[in-house]
């Protein structure tokens, strides 16, 4: 959709209604797709990904494999992997209806696996359909229901991309609180590959290193969008080590960030 048209929808708070109509169209189209049994309700898939059942399953598995490679590389460097006889812990924060985490018990058998999301419906569905993962609901704002230094790894795929500036700072501190010293946070964020989607004023803010937030819809929902320039992300995690910032190689792909707790 054209940028100016989206701007008008946002201005008049119509984005969520139009998004729901869009879901209806996608749902009609998806009727021809193959839907297997252990899949979440169609709206959950649309809300957190895109309404294509085969792609949802395949991409979820591919993403889990992709994450495992990063974890092996960056956690080994830190020697946490070398600690013997101790089960490691991993948290998928903003796990949605389980697209990625459903693959983790099989792919990461040496880990205790946890998932959290603020959407109670996803968490209820996950508890009933995904085995060998502990699921928790959190609120839109911190805290998480875990003690300090609980996790070796925390990952959040496209979660900060739906939060306000206040919550960027609150949640980065909260993730650091529940992360072990030396542990890693893996994030995907809206970086330079999304610059062509920004309006002129937004682009000026972004280029000045400021967070851009489109907040005319409900925070946390897919229609609430935040764009994170490099300078801003470094401020969020100041005092910790940025071990990787991998810029997206193509348009509309998110940047990868890995932060190690100092």
Judged by CB under 6 A, which of 30, 119, 223, 228 binds ligand SAM? 119
Judged by CB under 6 A, which of 39, 45, 49, 191 binds ligand SAM? 49
Q: 258 in helix, strand or coil? A: strand
Cα separation, 78 vs 28, whole angstroms: 49
Using rule CB under 6 A, residue 157 touches ligand SAM? yes
Judged by CB under 6 A, which of 159, 213, 226, 236 binds ligand SAM? 159
Q: Which is nearer to ligand SAM, 182 or 220 (CB)?
A: 220
Q: Tally the residues of the chain.
A: 262
User: Residue 208 to residues 89, 134, 197: CA-CA distances in angstroms?
Assistant: 37, 41, 16
Q: Which helix (DSSP H) or strand (DSSP E) does residue 113 occupy?
A: strand 111-117
Cα separation, 116 vs 97, whole angstroms: 10
Using rule CB under 6 A, residue 115 touches ligand SAM? no
Kindly state the smallest distance separating residue 81's Cβ from ligand SAM, in Å.
24
Q: Which is nearer to ligand SAM, 158 or 240 (CB)?
A: 158
Using rule CB under 6 A, residue 162 touches ligand SAM? yes
Judged by CB under 6 A, which of 40, 96, 183, 229 binds ligand SAM? 96
Cα separation, 202 vs 211, whole angstroms: 9
Residue 65 structure tokens: 């494999």
- The footprint of ligand SAM (CB under 6 A) covers 48-49, 93-96, 99-100, 117-119, 122, 138, 140, 157-159, 162-163, 220, 222
């Amino acid at each position: 959709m054209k940028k100016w048209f989206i701007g008008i929808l946002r201005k008049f708070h119509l984005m969520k209604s139009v998004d729901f109509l869009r879901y209806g169209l996608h749902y009609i189209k998806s009727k021809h797709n193959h839907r297997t049994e252990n899949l979440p309700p169609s709206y959950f898939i649309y809300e957190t990904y895109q309404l294509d059942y085969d792609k949802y399953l395949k991409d979820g598995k591919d993403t889990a494999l992709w994450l495992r490679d990063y974890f092996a590389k960056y956690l080994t460097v830190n020697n946490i992997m070398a600690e013997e006889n101790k089960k490691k812990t991993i948290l998928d924060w903003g796990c949605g209806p389980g697209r990625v985490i459903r693959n983790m018990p099989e792919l990461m058998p040496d880990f205790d696996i946890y998932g959290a999301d603020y959407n109670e419906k996803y968490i209820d569905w996950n508890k009933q359909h995904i085995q060998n993962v502990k699921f928790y609901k959190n609120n839109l704002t911190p805290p998480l229901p875990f003690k300090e230094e609980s996790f070796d790894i925390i990952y959040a795929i496209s979660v900060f991309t739906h939060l306000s500036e206040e919550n960027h700072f609150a949640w980065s501190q909260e993730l650091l609180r529940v992360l072990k010293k030396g542990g890693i946070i893996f994030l995907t964020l809206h970086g330079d590959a999304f610059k062509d989607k920004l309006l002129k004023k937004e682009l000026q803010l972004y280029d000045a290193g400021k967070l851009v937030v489109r907040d005319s819809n409900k925070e946390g929902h897919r229609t609430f969008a935040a764009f994170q320039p490099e300078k801003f992300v470094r401020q969020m995690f100041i005092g910790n080590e940025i071990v990787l910032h991998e810029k997206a190689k193509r348009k509309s792909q998110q940047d990868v960030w890995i932060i190690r707790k100092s």
